[in-house]
């Protein structure tokens, strides 16, 4: 006769149900709960990309902004969306918890998209159509109209940041990583998570973009608002089914604590003997033991015992922290050169939703004689390439790399990131060459001064630049995520996604900055980023990006050569690296 299950086997030790009682394994979590959460991410991805990928055509065609200004609005919107993930993660980790964060920010996102949809419907919230046979002159949107537009966009960005920061982490919370069976299910959850994100992306750049261009923006954005509301309703309906974990504090707070404590004891001299520090703190805090390192020794002062301090100060974490906390912050600091050199890739990526779409607008978008694809739908080649590259890498590249490099995992994370950066250079070289050909076609057909006329050159000439960026993103995404998950300290796993998403945000912001600088410097001559692309020198902007990306690749290779993986660093001091289930601990 089999023994009855114990209380520990029936409940999850670190999770509760919606009433705050220990979560029962049979009644909470699992696939039924995670499926309701997956729907939220699908709708978020579809909504955000559905707005961003076709926004530049709305800004130039309806709001009558210039190409450079429109590109900056798009990249600032996307950059803000990703940067606000840090705020969402901080609130979830410190105050709200992931469930409340998702619910609140999903409602915020739905409100923002609803305002955007209404602004496209109400005539007073956008300028009148251009007059004249050639589509001009055009009346630029007023400050009032732009204010409503920016309110809608940045409310959407705020909702996106909060939702994106917590949805994958809350999904992983539905599986117990101490149970072998549920740990395997958690791994499958993240595979399905990536699949559903890709599904949402494909729906955005095909169905939604087609509806926006053919049925009207109000329909396209209205569908997004309804989709978010439906997803929120489904999400809330699973309240009784979810497993909840209490907020444990943000790693950003830990970093601040270490720097403040070190600064307050800046006059102390760090000893050469690490016995001056706490050695048992990692046992008490359930953290992984980290060896003392001699880099960034200033931070060691945060863990030094100061005999001159008062008893209250000695018990204050902002004055005395632990050696483990200090070494965890050092690990993050060592990752920063790699982090910084991956930003440029996402600056290149930003061009696929801005100037590449503007190029497509000027070209022949017909397939056959009747069907016409929306210019923004060219992004489908980028997404399709990503989906094809990932299995191609697993089936063909990884086995060859295992044999050649004697690495059981194929290419290392840093090698994959480097490959992605090289493809970013190639993509801008291809983009510059294709733009030169596009301008030659415009000149040969006398279309330089007619911006609204279509150049008799098929839009599929743009496929190579989308393809190369797509291949680069597949390597970059896999490499970055693997690197940050593997190298972040066990006690700061929530930092991994924050670091990853911040590179996207800063890449988009850097694109905006670069566009503004180039636009200002070339304004008095022949502008590179003219409102009429046929009169500009967009190819020079692409050449500039190729050059900056090439320089960045060289810097990256130096940083990658300098970097020592955590596993190797631990092995050198005789500490066995604990096997960690990373996927369950990031946002």
**Predicted pLDDT at 356:** 93
Task: Give which of 413, 416, 525, 527 is closest to 472, Cα–Cα.
Answer: 416
Highest mean pLDDT among 179-193, 196-210, 421-435: 421-435
Does the pLDDT value for residue 579 go beyond 50? no
Is pLDDT larger for residue 220 or for residue 579? 220
**Predicted pLDDT at 283:** 46
**Predicted pLDDT at 479:** 87
Rounded mean pLDDT, 319-348: 90
Q: Is 120 exposed, middle or buried (0-12, 13-18, 19+ CB in 10 A)?
A: buried
Classify 331-573 by CATH class: mainly alpha
> Is the link from the previous residue into 137 a cis peptide, with omega within 30 of 0?
yes
Percent of the chain whose predicted confidence (pLDDT) is above 70 = 88
Average pLDDT, the chain: 85
Split at pLDDT 50, 70, 90, the class of 511 is very high
| pTM to 2 decimal places | 0.86
Least confident range of 48-52, 131-135, 136-140, 301-305? 131-135
Q: Which residues of 352-378 are buried (b: 16+ CB within 10 A; e: fewer)?
A: bbbbbbbbbbbbebeeeeeeebbbbbb
Least confident range of 183-192, 197-206, 275-284? 275-284
Find out whether 503 and 346 touch, Cβ atoms under 8 Å: yes
End-to-end CA distance of the chain: 43
**Predicted pLDDT at 557:** 96
pLDDT tens-digit readout, 272-288: 655 555 434 544 455 66
Percent of the chain whose predicted confidence (pLDDT) is above 90 = 42
pLDDT tens-digit readout, 541-555: 999 999 999 999 999
**Predicted pLDDT at 83:** 92
CA distances from 199 to 202, 235, 386, 478, 527 (A): 5, 19, 12, 18, 39
- In the block, tokens 């990006």 appear at 545
**Predicted pLDDT at 313:** 65
Does the pLDDT value for residue 531 go beyond 90? no
**Predicted pLDDT at 586:** 30
Six-digit token string for 473 = 């993103």
Q: How far apart are CA 144 and CA 292, in angstroms?
A: 57
Q: Among 3.30.43.10, 1.10.4190.10, 1.20.1250.20, 3.90.1580.10, what is the CATH number of 13-130+139-249?
A: 1.20.1250.20
Does the pLDDT value for residue 170 go beyond 80? yes
Q: How far apart are CA 242 and CA 453, in angstroms?
A: 55
Residue ranges of domains in the chain: 13-130+139-249, 257-329, 331-573
Rounded mean pLDDT, 501-512: 93
CA distances from 299 to 322, 328, 409 (A): 11, 11, 34
**Predicted pLDDT at 197:** 83
Does the pLDDT value for residue 335 go beyond 60? yes
Q: How far apart are CA 498 and CA 83, in angstroms?
A: 9
- What are the beta bridge partners of residue 364? 458
**Predicted pLDDT at 438:** 95
Q: How far apart are CA 269 and CA 260, in angstroms?
A: 16
Find out whether 170 and 96 touch, Cβ atoms under 8 Å: no
CA 453 to chain centre: 36
| Kind and range of the H or E run holding 12 | strand 11-16
Does the pLDDT value for residue 133 go beyond 50? no
| 13-130+139-249 against 331-573: fold identical | yes
Is pLDDT larger for residue 10 or for residue 549? 549
Least confident range of 328-332, 367-371, 417-421, 442-446? 367-371
């Amino acid at each position: 006769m089999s023994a009855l299950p114990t209380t520990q086997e029936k409940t999850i030790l670190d999770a509760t149900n919606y009433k705050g009682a220990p979560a029962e394994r049979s009644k909470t979590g699992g696939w039924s709960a995670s499926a309701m959460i997956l729907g939220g991410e699908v709708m978020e991805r579809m909504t955000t990309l559905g707005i961003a990928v076709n926004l530049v055509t709305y800004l130039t065609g309806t709001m009558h902004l210039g190409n450079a200004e429109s590109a900056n609005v798009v990249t600032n919107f996307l950059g803000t969306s990703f940067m606000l993930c840090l705020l969402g993660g901080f609130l979830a980790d410190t105050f709200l918890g992931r469930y409340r964060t998702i619910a609140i920010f999903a409602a915020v996102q739905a409100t923002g998209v609803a305002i955007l949809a209404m602004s496209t419907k109400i005539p007073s919230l956008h300028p009148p159509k251009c007059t004249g046979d050639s589509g001009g002159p055009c009346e630029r949107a007023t400050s009032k109209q732009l204010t409503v537009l920016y309110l809608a966009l940045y409310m959407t960005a705020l909702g996106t940041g909060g939702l994106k920061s917590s949805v994958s982490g809350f999904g992983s919370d539905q599986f117990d990583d101490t149970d072998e069976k549920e740990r395997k299910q958690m791994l499958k959850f993240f595979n399905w998570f990536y699949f559903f994100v890709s599904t949402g992306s494909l729906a955005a750049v095909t169905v939604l973009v087609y509806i926006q261009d053919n049925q009207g923006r109000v329909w396209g954005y209205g569908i997004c608002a309804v989709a978010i509301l439906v997803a929120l309703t489904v999400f809330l309906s699973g309240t009784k089914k979810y497993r909840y974990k209490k907020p444990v504090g943000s790693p950003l707070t830990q970093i601040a604590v270490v720097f403040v404590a070190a600064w307050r004891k800046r006059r102390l001299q760090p000893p050469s003997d690490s016995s001056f520090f706490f050695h048992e703190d990692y046992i008490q805090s359930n953290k992984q033991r980290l060896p003392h390192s001699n880099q960034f020794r200033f931070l060691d002062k945060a863990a030094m015992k100061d005999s001159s301090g008062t008893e209250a100060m000695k018990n204050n974490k902002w004055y005395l922290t632990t050696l483990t906390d200090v070494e965890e912050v050092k690990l993050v600091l060592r990752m920063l050169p790699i982090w910084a050199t991956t930003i440029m890739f996402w600056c290149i990526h930003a061009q696929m939703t801005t100037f590449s779409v503007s190029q497509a607008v000027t070209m022949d978008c017909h397939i056959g004689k009747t069907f016409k694809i929306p210019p923004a739908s060219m992004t489908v080649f980028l997404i399709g390439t990503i989906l094809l590259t990932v299995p191609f890498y697993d089936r063909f590249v990884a086995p060859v790399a295992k044999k050649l490099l004697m690495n059981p995992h194929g290419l290392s994370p840093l090698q994959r990131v480097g490959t992605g950066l090289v493809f970013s250079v190639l993509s801008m070289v291809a983009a510059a060459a294709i733009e030169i050909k596009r301008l030659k076609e415009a000149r040969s057909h006398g279309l330089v001064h007619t911006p609204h006329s279509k150049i008799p050159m098929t839009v599929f000439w743009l496929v190579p630049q989308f393809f190369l960026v797509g291949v680069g993103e597949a390597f970059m995404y896999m490499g970055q995520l693997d690197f940050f998950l593997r190298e972040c300290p066990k006690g700061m796993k929530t930092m991994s996604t924050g670091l990853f998403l911040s590179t996207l945000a800063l890449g988009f912001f850097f694109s905006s900055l670069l566009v503004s600088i180039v636009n200002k410097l070339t304004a008095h001559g022949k502008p590179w980023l003219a409102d009429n692309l046929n009169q500009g020198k967009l190819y020079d902007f692409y050449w500039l990006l190729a050059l900056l990306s090439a320089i960045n690749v060289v810097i990256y290779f130096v940083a990658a050569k300098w970097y020592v993986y955590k596993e190797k660093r631990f092995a050198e001091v005789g500490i066995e690296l604990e096997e960690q289930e990373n996927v369950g601990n990031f946002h």
